[in-house]
């Protein structure tokens, strides 16, 4: 069974539609700092508002804990959405308010779903109250597709086929990631970075079974160094994950997969205001220093592997990317992906930020809006929101 598309919605003209979007955007002092996810939702919203009588958009924002919290109100997002669409958006201060008095042609934005504990609990009663006013349901929130929450799982299951659909963004995400998971064109190269092996164990194990090369960077590389018996100094490391790292290395060796760790690294005495920054071989990390980035030889090696790839998936920075002095490795990977002839997919906030900062986002074939969701997708595990739409 495939995802139902917007074109498959039956009798949507003149009806009321609930649209689950991912509007979890950064807000500071009542101002949206980055409207990327808002812009990504516009095609689906435009399609719906041209047909439906009333469209009610809903989303979560931040880490609300089951009760109203002004810090996580979607009111600023309503203003940003109104600006992006160039049309009125009526903000509804409780997501369970039916908005029955909305005039034909109205676009509503419901308050943060996570102000109710039933959202994260995937409570069917909460889902029933949320969906009751709406004849149709659309999910365009790929970033939450891996969560079994009420607005994406229980809500979707309450609608029959023909009354629910994936939005345009959800369709694009699934199509791009399907291309990576289902018989990707070889050589298939995965670049995995970030701080911890523990947060990416399942994706690493899944990728070892599919890729021809696996390039590792970020803090997790230190755990692999430790697994090989190397000194890592004062670097971030997960000693409790050394056994897992050894298992991943052994699995890669058994399958004949090229497992590439940085041959050299950038080290420093501190992350903030360092007094000394050097480049050393990975087997010569001083006991009193910490790894903060991959080195120039590693960047060149990664660029070489990526230039020969036909499919690339990237998730996670190569170093302490948030510090400009230690961002060179991550930006080098971004530029290498842009120059590669491969079909390229980037997921994860810092990786997306890197291709944007490097000015190459337009050269990436697919930039995913869901870091965690894209990681779970490539493991082959069921995605609750997708399964609910397909049911």
pLDDT digits (tens, 9 = 90+) for 308-337: 999 999 999 999 999 999 999 999 999 999
Neighbours of 53 (CB within 10 A): 17
Could you give the C-alpha distances from 239 to 115, 161, 229, 338, in angstroms and in order? 38, 48, 12, 35
For the chain, the average pLDDT equals: 96
The pLDDT, as a whole number, for residue 348 is 85
Quick one: pLDDT at residue 349? 83
Query: pLDDT value at position 381?
Result: 87
Domain total in the chain: 2
H helical segments located in the chain: 36-49, 75-85, 117-120, 124-131, 154-157, 168-181, 201-208, 220-227, 242-255, 296-307, 328-339, 349-357, 371-379, 384-390
pLDDT tens sequence across 240-262: 999 999 999 999 999 999 999 99
14 is an active site residue: no
Provide the CATH number for the domain around residue 120.
3.40.50.1260
Q: What is the DSSP letter of 76?
A: H
Which own/partner contact pairs does 299-302 have at CB distance under 8 Å and 24+ positions apart? Answer: 299/328, 299/329, 299/332, 299/333, 299/336, 301/260, 301/263, 302/191, 302/215, 302/217, 302/260, 302/332, 302/333, 302/336
In the structure, what pLDDT confidence band is assigned to residue 111 with cuts at 50, 70 and 90? very high
Catalytic entry in 16, 20, 37, 120: 37
Q: Do 224 and 157 fall into the same domain?
A: no
Q: CA end-to-end span of the chain, whole Å?
A: 8
Q: What is the pLDDT of residues 158-210, one digit of tens each?
A: 999 999 999 999 999 999 999 999 989 999 999 999 999 999 999 999 999 89
Is residue 242 in some structural domain?
yes
Selecting among 157, 179, 310, 349, the annotated active-site residue is 349
Task: Kindly report the pTM of this predicted structure.
Answer: 0.92
pLDDT at 98: 83
Classify residue 130: in a domain, yes or no: yes
pLDDT band at residue 291 under the 50/70/90 scheme:
very high
Q: At residue 1, does pLDDT exceed 70?
A: no
| Domain boundary pick from 143, 169, 195 | 169
Kind plus residue range of the DSSP H or E element containing 56:
strand 54-58
Residue where a domain stops, chosen among 169, 185, 206: 169
Same-domain status, 159 and 181? no
> Does residue 97 sit in the same domain as residue 18?
yes
The residue out of 140, 169, 198 marking a domain boundary is 169
pLDDT at 354: 94
Task: Identify whether 329 is a catalytic site residue.
Answer: no
Among the listed residues 46, 196, 246, 356, the single catalytic one is 196
Of all residues in the chain, the percent with pLDDT exceeding 70 is 100
107: pLDDT confidence band, cut at 50, 70 and 90? very high
* pLDDT mean over 99-127: 95
For the stretch 345-360, pLDDT in tens is 999 888 999 999 999 9
Catalytic (active site) residue 37: yes
Query: What is residue 262's predicted lDDT score, i.e. its pLDDT?
Result: 98
């Amino acid at each position: 069974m495939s995802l139902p598309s917007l074109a498959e919605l039956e009798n949507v003209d003149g009806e009321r539609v609930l649209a689950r979007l991912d509007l979890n955007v950064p807000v500071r002092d009542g101002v949206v700092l980055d409207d990327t996810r808002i812009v990504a939702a516009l095609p689906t919203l435009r399609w719906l508002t041209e047909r439906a009588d009333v469209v009610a958009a809903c989303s979560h924002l931040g880490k609300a804990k089951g009760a109203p919290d002004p810090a996580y109100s979607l009111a600023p997002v309503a203003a940003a959405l109104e600006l992006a669409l160039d049309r009125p958006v009526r903000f509804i201060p409780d997501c369970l308010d039916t908005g029955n008095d909305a005039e034909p042609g109205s676009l509503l934005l419901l308050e943060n779903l996570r102000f109710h504990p039933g959202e994260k609990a995937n409570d069917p009663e909460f889902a029933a109250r949320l969906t009751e006013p709406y004849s149709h349901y659309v999910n365009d929130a790929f970033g939450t597709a891996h969560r079994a929450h009420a607005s994406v799982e229980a809500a979707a299951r309450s609608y029959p086929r023909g009354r629910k659909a994936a939005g345009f963004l959800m369709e694009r995400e699934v199509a791009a990631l399907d291309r990576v998971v289902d018989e990707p064109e070889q050589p298939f190269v995965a670049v995995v970075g970030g701080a911890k092996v523990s947060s990416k164990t399942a994706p690493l194990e899944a990728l070892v079974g599919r890729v021809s090369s696996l390039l590792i960077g970020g803090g997790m590389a230190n755990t692999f160094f430790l697994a090989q018996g190397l000194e890592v100094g004062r670097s971030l490391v997960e000693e409790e994950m050394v056994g897992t790292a050894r298992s991943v290395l052994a699995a890669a060796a058994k399958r004949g997969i090229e497992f590439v760790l940085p041959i050299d690294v950038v080290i420093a005495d501190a992350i903030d205001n360092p007094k000394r920054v050097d480049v050393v071989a990975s087997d010569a990390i001083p006991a009193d220093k910490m790894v903060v980035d991959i080195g120039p030889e590693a960047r060149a090696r990664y660029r070489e592997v990526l230039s020969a790839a036909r499919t690339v998936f990237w998730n996670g920075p190569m170093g302490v990317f948030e510090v400009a002095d230690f961002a060179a490795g991550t930006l080098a990977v971004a530029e290498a992906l842009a120059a590669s002839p491969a079909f390229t997919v980037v997921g994860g906030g810092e990786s997306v930020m890197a291709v944007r900062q490097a000015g190459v986002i337009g050269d990436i074939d697919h930039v995913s809006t869901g870091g965690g969701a894209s990681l779970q997708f490539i493991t082959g595990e069921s995605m609750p929101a997708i399964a609910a739409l397909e049911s």
